[in-house]
Amino acid sequence: MVDAKAIKDKVSKKINNTRSKISSQITAHKHCRICGINIDAKSEPRICKSADCSSALEKREKNDRMMRIMFFIFVGIFFVPILLSSVGILG
């Protein structure tokens, strides 16, 4: 025989568990940008204390800077001639 009440209890317990897990994740707020573990909401930069993560973040920021420079070069190559020709310098 299947005890329906016991199953109901189990299920509602499971739901409550999931709910409390979710709400605790909401209150935790921040995650490490590299490995994604929960970190203190006030920690700045947004990474955990692991050395791997700080070096990874450094690499990522260097990469970001490089991408920004590339973007400006790209914009310069494609839009400066258009701009110049639109004001009549290049005819």
35 lies in the binding site for Zn ion (CB under 5 A) = yes
Minimum CB–partner distance for residue 39 and Zn ion (Å): 7
Task: Tell me how crowded residue 46 is: count the other CB atoms within 10 A of its CB.
Answer: 15
Most distant CA pair in the chain: distance in Å? 90
DSSP letter for 30, please. E
Binding residue count for Zn ion, defined by CB under 5 A: 6
Stretch that binds Zn ion, among 5-13, 16-24, 31-39, 83-91 (CB under 5 A): 31-39
The reply to whether omega before 45 is within 30° of 0 (cis) is: yes
| Residues at the interface with Zn ion (CB under 5 A) | 32, 34-35, 48, 50, 53
